[in-house]
Amino acid sequence: MNFISLDFIIFLLVTLLGFYSLKDKWRTPFLLAASYFFYGYWSIPYLFLLIFTMVVDFYFAIKIEEAKTQKLRKSFLIFSLFLNLGILFVFKYFNFFVDILHETVGMQIKESHLILPFAISFYTFHAMSYVIDVYRHQIKAERNFVPYSAYVMFFPQLVAGPIARAQHLLHQFREKKYFKTEQWLSAFWYIACGYIMKMVLADNIGPTVDYYYYETGPEKTPFNIVQATYLFAFQIYFDFAGYTSIAIGIAKLFDFELVKNFERPYIAQSMTEFWRRWHISLSTWLRDYLYVSLGGNRHGKLKMYRNLMLTMLLGGIWHGANLTFLLWGFLHGLYLVIEKVIKSFAFTSSVSNYIPKFVRIFIVFNLVSLAWIPFRCKTIAESIERMQLFGHWFIHPLSYISFSDIQRKLWILVIGWLVFEWITEKWDLHQRFIKSNLVVKYCSAYAAIVIIVLFAQTNPEAFIYFQF
């Protein structure tokens, strides 16, 4: 079920009614059953696959905690990780590696025709982080399968995150839940913002990006490719941040708190800052479970650079079984390594102080946008062609400049929302809305509904991150 479908809205209303009609001790089992239905609505066989992996991880976490020796603890951890990564490999990466073997050494292996399980990357990371945290003594192994399963399966964040850690979310399934007016007002704010970001902004931008990226005629000029690339940067932001906002809002309806996943990433003044603002739950996951496990910055600068590059390469391939995602990860790894190298020179800190803030933001935004090209393209050849056009316009910036009517309207929408985000943060409109009088609340709700009805695409597209 898609968050923007009528089926989901009906499902959500029924789930809310059932949740608050039950006694507290039955609410977590009810939410678990609802989450099973939510996933099973797409595929019942893969629901059983997901339940199987949860049972195995639940068992191994307990065995890790009970193990008497470090060697035995590590063995149980390896078994659990092998299972999770093995399933991920079979369903998501098998054909990718078959193609690589065929192209490089001519090896003929029959490709798999298995359908990629819905949300496999996200629930795999949920499960792995739980077992690793138990292994690291950061949390205790859960002895009750119901709250553990509800943590992994919690439907608002199951499909596309945020990637919740057990220490943040699991304990919430053991706490009493209440109907709170303030929580519901906050939920409305997040859900309304999410629907606007997705249906009004992302879905209106999408067709223009598709057109200019795959147009073969005279309209595929360097300037139009630059525009399409910039617009895609905002499309994927509005699409994914919109999903996260809706997920956070839905969780609040049930008195649950999910972690923040975006914090105005395109005002970052460095690549390191960008990754502190973009897909925060993934970037912190990669840092804590991959970068740190590889050694982090503990063994000298060269190994730190290696670890950064490996982390971003693996972060890239996590998004999809395609060399374009690997190129996207490589570019971000390269950016971070170059940034670290530059900062290692003592004089650079004083020099950077003289670079205006807007210049640093402009540079980072363009580097991020350049990397979005392979993320958006289907092949390396397409990526290189569009990256060349992107670079060509910066060499001749006064050439090919032209805006169509639809492009002007899209940029008005983008700039308007960015201004709204700035005002929201500066004056904390979220809290002001919650504490406002009924007239302001009703007017705000009416305005949000009118905006969605008037400007939303009639045929909304699936969320981009559903494919991962």
**Burial of residue 244 (number of CB atoms within 10 Å: 0-12, 13-18, 19+):** buried
Contacts 24+ apart (CB under 8 A), 326-332: 327/374, 327/380, 327/383, 328/371, 328/372, 328/374, 328/375, 331/367, 331/370, 331/371, 331/374, 332/271, 332/275, 332/371
Tokens of 183: 């929580």
- What SS3 state is found at 426? helix
CA dihedral 31, 36, 41, 43 (to 10 degrees): 160
Structure tokens at 84: 């999770």
Q: Let me know if 200 is exposed, middle or buried by CB neighbors in 10 A (0-12, 13-18, 19+).
A: buried
Task: Concatenate the DSSP letters of all residues of 257-268 into one string.
Answer: -PPP--S-GGG-
Structure letter (DSSP) for residue 460: P
Distance of CA 419 to the CA centre of its chain: 23
Residue 413 near residue 402 (C-beta atoms within 8 A)? no
Active site residue 430: no
CB neighbour class for 198 (10 Å; exposed up to 12, middle 13-18, buried from 19):
buried
122-148 core/surface letters (b: 16 or more CB in 10 A; e: else): bbbbbbbbbbbbbbeeebebbeeeebb
Q: Residue 428 CB: number of other CB atoms within 10 A?
A: 12
Q: Which of 319, 332, 392, 430 is catalytic?
A: 319
DSSP letter at 354 equals: T
Site of tokens 């670890």: 307
In Å, what is the CA distance from 315 to each residue of 151, 309, 381, 433?
Answer: 23, 10, 22, 37
Query: Which positions are catalytic?
Result: 319
